Amino acid sequence: MIVTLIIVCEVGFWVLLAAGLALRYWAKMPRASVAVLLCEPLLEALLFVATAVDLKNGAAPDWKHGLAAVYIGYSVALGHSTVKWVDVRVAHRFAGGPPPSTPKYGVPRAIHEWKLAARWIAAAVIAMGLLQGAIWYVGDGGDTGSMEQWQQRMLFLIAINVIIALSYTVFPKKEPAVTSGRR
């Protein structure tokens, strides 16, 4: 049930996003667009409640419950930036908005990577908190090994993101030299 609900929530996220942007750019209904986009957090709340009820009804905690925590962490920490990322691209493609821009070189790129790492770290910390809550909720009588494995994976995710951001800081990509075109 939990895996199906995670898939439904993921599909629902993209359906709501597409509907919200369609209302904004094609139907020219910005208020309705905001209302639809504000429904997205309800998906995470539904998944959280369903996971808690599943555990309360005696389900053995396993990888599915851990995946639900990770999905909720991602949605909370990166959902808004994902919506903004898609919105900029749709606005550019279909509504004459400015082209998307991501810094490519030097300090601006390093700052961009650290901001992205911070979002991923927040997602991992949220997931770890939810997982710890589930571990406490299940108590000593249940097998919580899969939840603890997910927590370790989140620590690995944090480490990877810090390494990537650090690499852009220590080894910044340099802007290519501009050639005048003369020979």
What pLDDT score does 146 carry?
87
**Rounded Cα–Cα distance for residues 100 and 90 (Å):** 10
The pTM (predicted TM-score) of the whole model is 0.86
Q: From the first residue on, what is the mean pLDDT of each consecutive set of 10 residues in the chain (183 residues)? A: 88 94 93 93 89 83 89 93 94 93 94 97 96 86 85 97 97 84 58
Collapsing DSSP states into helix, strand and coil, what is residue 69? helix
Q: Can you state the percent helix, strand and coil of the chain, rounding each to 5?
A: 75, 0, 25
Cα-flanking dihedrals φ and ψ of residue 181, to 5°?
Answer: 90, -5
Q: Six-digit token pair at 106? A: 């030097």
What pLDDT score does 183 carry?
55
Q: Six-digit token pair at 118? A: 């911070």
**Rounded Cα–Cα distance for residues 36 and 54 (Å):** 28
Residue 164 contacts by C-beta under 8 Å, 6 or more apart in sequence?
113, 117
Domain ranges of the chain: 2-170
Residue 110 contacts by C-beta under 8 Å, 6 or more apart in sequence?
165, 168, 169, 172
What pLDDT score does 135 carry?
87
What pLDDT score does 168 carry?
96
**Total count of residues recorded for the chain:** 183
The Cβ-side half-sphere exposure at 60, using a 13 Å CA radius, reads 5
Q: Six-digit token pair at 74? A: 């991602």
**Rounded Cα–Cα distance for residues 159 and 182 (Å):** 47
